[in-house]
Amino acid sequence: MNPLLQDFNTKYNTAPFSKIKNKHFKTAFEKAIVLAKAEIDTIVNNKEEPTFQNTLEALEFSGEKLDRISSIFFNLNSAETNDEIQKIAQEISPLLTEFSNDIILNKKLFQKIKTIFNIKDDLDLNDEQQMLLQKKYKSFVRNGANLNEKDKTKLREIDKKLAKLSLQFGENILAETNTYQLLLTNKNQLKGLPEGAIEAAKITAKENNKKGWLITLDYPSYIPFMTYADDRNLREQLAKAFGARGFLKNKQDNQLAVLQIVKLRHRRANLLGYKTHAHFVLEERMAENPKKVKQFLNEILIKAKPAGQKDFEKVEKVAKNDGIKTLQKWDGAYYSEKLKKELFDLDDEQLKPYFKLENVINGVFTIANKLYDLKFEEIFTIDKYHDEVKTYKVTGKNSKFIAVFYADFFPRKGKRNGAWMTSYKSQWKKDEENSRPHISIVCNFTKPTETKPSLLTFNEVTTLFHEFGHALHGMLANTIYPSLSGTSVYWDFVELPSQIFENWCYEKDALNLFAKHYKTNKIIPMELVQKIKDSSNFLEGIATLRQLSFGLLDMAWHSGDSPETIKSVKAFEIEAFAGTQLFPDVVENCMSTAFSHIFQGGYSSGYYSYKWAEVLDADAFEAFKENGIFDKETATKFKENVLSKGGTEKPMDLYKRFRGKEPNTDALLKRAGLLK
């Protein structure tokens, strides 16, 4: 019996992970596709006049089993993968692409939707129904419903190739990250490293049956080494290995994949009547078009560049005092940390004892409770995909069930780098039931050691708050339709809930709730809180230039007229980085070949959205600052107009309803110290 094809019959209808074996997936996908196709056929063959209910709503709630199987499988492929799962992913991705094209390119189905769309003004539809109709109609048109048969076939071929290429891109990066190991056998090579990082390296070596200390490219290993290790040659070696992922002219080389993805995206956009891939993507974003995005990025660049150069000179000066003639990329974090210590008498090692992971989690929960009346209770009756995963029942006022929350915090072999929020099940309303979501956050934080619990760097603390902000967007969803629920919003709006939540990390009243010394339980001293605040804009010029460089690189790849003529990934990248570059180029390294956000994730032509959302979040947090960071009225307004609404209305309308006005870039520049 295949558990994926049965009703789950679990508490809260959660995924029965312990019963699911790899062998179940392919069969489950094949059968679920057949079921979903039958549901589509029922809609298409309905002899009655097309109505909103028998067409749009029926389509929206079709393929539910397939959606659940897909979310389980692809989440595992990111958080707990292995060779077998990756092989299955390669086999089923074309099937799923084919299926979604079968729907989008179904003439009769589109005709029914078009009929309803043409009489929409005569129908008594509410805002959410109108949005669903508009989005469905547009998604058909934007994905080829109006193409002739010959072009539809071309589109199918392009989509199949793109699905395989982006999977391959991600697998290559995971393989390169997992393969590289820097084994140190001489204690002198660890000079400068904090005790916790040394202990973690010893544990990693032991886990890999090696003697000594093992440094890997996983962030909790890589970042401390780059920040603290005195041995410059080893820092160089590690930085070059990290920067060369996908660029080693080996089996995992991603250069060809990058060029193919970019060309195929461009051809696809042209086929659909758009000038470039960026024009296609941005039509469905707050930013609207590439010109506006470039103007936005360059406007901030003009203000940030002088600050970035000044910051760079400050770090350079510290390095020169240490006898370094040219500041290189592998010196950046190391000398920035020394400068930070010099200016603020502050470093991560001073802060980490106050950020025990369990305390930070409780802090996040307490803040969510103060703002949105949410309670989190760890429960042990829910199946999980790995022992390390924690599971919580989330309730609201009057113990009303809100969501299931999964949290997965530490690096593992089968988990990709970075941090993300995802869902195993969306929220929706049907047959008088408000079906609640299953939300997950996945991170790669510093593991506990034999002598210490997991103590987070301040950067890891803000990462946890960031992902939890996304999780709140998913958990507090309250819409009728799953495709408009939670984080299903315009891409440049999706980072607002995550980025605004980071602001609480810098507030004394919030830190007092959870920043307690792991040994003494003493609350973080006021002077350290002040130092966190004072240093919050430390090297903000460099950080801003870095973010802008990624956004501009993304736009360069996707808004150019003729990607067909690009021959060298590296040469193209150097040109795109020209206006933002501070450090000398490293010949052996390439950013694009490991730029998973745009070549594997969904951020192509959308990386600018981090900065865009920063403008929104800086402006939105001003409302909390004006009224008090735990002000119930402001929080309720934010919850009702942003967090619960998903994609049911235009983002700017939702934002203005919360804030009373459009956002202003000055709030961001002021907060970043780039505007006096």
> Residues 390, 378: contact at Cβ < 8 Å?
yes
Q: Which tokens belong to 15? A: 């995924």
CA distance 460 to 477: 26
The torsion region of residue 67 among left (phi > 0), alpha (psi -120 to 50) and beta comes to alpha
Q: Which residues contact 575 (CB under 8 A, 6 or more apart)?
A: 556
Half-sphere exposure of 628 (CA within 13 A, CB side): 6
Task: Please give the angle made by the CA atoms of 654, 658 and 664, to the nearest 5 degrees.
Answer: 90
CA distance 55 to 53: 6
> Residues 289, 279: contact at Cβ < 8 Å?
yes
- DSSP sequence for 42-110: HHHT--SPP-IIIIIIHHHTTTHHHHHHHHHHHHHHHHS--HHHHHHHHHHHHHHHHHHHHHHT-HHHH
> Residues 400, 451: contact at Cβ < 8 Å?
no
Which of the residues 60, 337, 460, 467 is marked catalytic? 467
> Residues 554, 262: contact at Cβ < 8 Å?
no
CA distance 29 to 38: 14
Element (H, E) at 613: helix 609-627
Alpha-helix residue ranges (DSSP H) falling in 424-494: 458-475
CA distance 122 to 371: 41
Q: Tell whether the torsion through CA atoms of 648, 649, 651 and 653 is positive or negative.
A: negative
DSSP 28: H
- Count the neighbouring beta carbons within 10 Å of the beta carbon of residue 124: 6
Q: Which residues contact 298 (CB under 8 A, 6 or more apart)?
A: none
> Residues 135, 128: contact at Cβ < 8 Å?
no
Q: Which tokens belong to 672? A: 């970043």
57 catalytic per annotation: no
Task: Compute CA distances 419 → 399, 410, 461, 519, 643, whole Å.
Answer: 30, 10, 12, 28, 21
CA distance 224 to 127: 49
Q: Which tokens belong to 458? A: 């301040």
Nearest in space to 71 (alpha carbons), one of 503, 422, 510, 474: 422
CA distance 555 to 63: 34
CA distance 295 to 289: 10
Q: Which residues contact 653 (CB under 8 A, 6 or more apart)?
A: none
Active site residues: 467
